[in-house]
Amino acid sequence: MEERKITEFESIEIITSMISRTKDRLVKGSGNILLMWGYLIVAVTALIWVLLVTTHNAAYNWFWFLIWIIGGIATPIMAKKQRVYERLVAMNRKPHSIELGCGFRYG
């Protein structure tokens, strides 16, 4: 397949259209689940470190399972909220029209 040379103007148009499509698909709060996992890992790590340094009791290593317990409970809850929010945003983005009957539309 032959590659076609594109001009600078076409290149800028392609980049601009890709950025605008990405902005359209990006929903506020779409990375909250990943942030929750990151904060959870940092918090549990700090908790275990403090407990191990202060008590020298290796039994606190069992607290690593808190990551999976808390994250496993919080992820589906957050995902459900995110799906509901995305559905509402998608409904507001669609152009609405009202069918008035006999083929007439308003909107």
pLDDT value at 77 more than 70: yes
Provide the pairing of β-strand 104-106 with 98-101.
antiparallel
The predicted model scores a pTM of 0.60
Q: Kindly state the helix (H) or strand (E) to which residue 22 belongs, with its residue range.
A: helix 8-25
Q: What is the pLDDT of residues 84-94, one digit of tens each?
A: 776 766 666 65
Q: Which residues contact 75 (CB under 8 A, 6 or more apart)?
A: 33, 36, 37
On whether the CB atoms of residues 23 and 68 are closer than 8 A, the answer is no
Mind listing the pLDDT tens digit for each residue in 5-46? 888 888 899 899 888 877 766 666 678 899 999 999 999 999
